[in-house]
């Protein structure tokens, strides 16, 4: 069974967007994964296709209506759907490589893209939405965040990226940031490729790469190192 993503959004025309390009797009064409974008307004019942209302208790902005969003979720994800239900939210748990890998090994995901001031909490609670954040900042909506999540996940699906070794040494896969890369020409603007990389000694190359990963992680993300975080 291939990975199946359903996106509930007010802007279905944004998809697949970058998800339809390069290796992700080829994987989509080869049916290694699938994507449907569901228009939230199609579940509105009034002639104005209203999907939001003012926040209870006052305040700026609007909130997505619980009845409309719940109906959309229930239609896209019936009770026998095993896919996790995700809400892209700046207050969610940070997206990690580990969570992306878990999702890639599953049947897919139902992703809700918020807009305005957010989503009625009753829908989050009753529909068991897992809130995920892609960073400590706020976007105009969840669509770009959903694309980030799906790109992180889909590239890990077997056959999408190519050889499994392609991402085995990437940042966060082994708890460290990735080591620097070089390619020809040998000399560029007076800078040369580190001699160890052209030595042909694979043991030395592996040790050099590990040391570089440790140095970069210590300098940029010491929180990833258990003894230094």
Q: How far is CA 116 from CA 33, 53, 73, 132, 193, in A?
A: 30, 10, 18, 17, 50
Number of neighbours of residue 73 by Cβ within 10 angstroms: 25
Q: Is the domain defined by 3-154 classed in CATH 3.40.1280.10?
A: yes
Closest CA to 213 of 184, 156, 170, 183: 170
Q: Do 113 and 143 form a contact (C-beta atoms < 8 A)? A: yes
Superfamily of domain 169-224 in CATH is tRNA(m1g37)methyltransferase, domain 2 (1.10.1270.20)
pTM for the model: 0.90
Q: What is the mean pLDDT of residues 35-40?
A: 98
Domains of the chain by residue range: 3-154, 169-224
pLDDT in tens, 53-89: 999 999 889 999 999 999 999 999 999 999 999 999 9
H helices then E strands: how many in the chain? 6, 9
> How far is it, in rounded angstroms, from Cα 206 to Cα 184?
19
Q: Coil, strand, or helix at residue 36?
A: strand
């Amino acid at each position: 069974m291939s990975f199946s993503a359903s996106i509930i959004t007010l802007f279905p025309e944004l998809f697949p967007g970058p998800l339809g390009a390069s290796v992700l797009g080829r994987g989509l064409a080869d049916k290694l994964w699938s994507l449907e974008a569901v228009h939230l307004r199609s579940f509105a019942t009034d002639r104005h296709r209203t999907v939001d209302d003012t926040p209870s208790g006052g305040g700026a902005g609007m909130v997505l209506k619980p009845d409309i969003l719940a109906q959309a979720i229930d239609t896209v994800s019936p009770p026998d759907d095993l896919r996790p239900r995700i809400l892209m939210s700046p207050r969610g748990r940070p997206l990690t490589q580990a969570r992306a890998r878990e999702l890639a090994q599953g049947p897919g995901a139902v992703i809700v893209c918020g807009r305005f001031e957010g989503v009625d909490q009753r829908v989050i609670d009753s529909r068991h939405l897992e809130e995920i954040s892609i960073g400590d900042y706020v976007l105009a909506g969840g669509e770009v965040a959903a694309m980030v999540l799906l790109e992180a996940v889909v590239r890990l699906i077997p056959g999408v990226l190519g050889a499994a070794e392609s991402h085995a040494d990437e940042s966060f896969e082994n708890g460290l940031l990735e080591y620097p890369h070089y390619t020809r020409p040998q000399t560029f603007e007076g800078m040369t490729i580190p001699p160890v990389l052209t030595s042909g000694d694979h043991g030395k190359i592996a040790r050099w790469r590990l040391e570089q990963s440790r140095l970069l992680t210590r300098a940029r993300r010491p929180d990833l190192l258990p003894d230094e975080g």
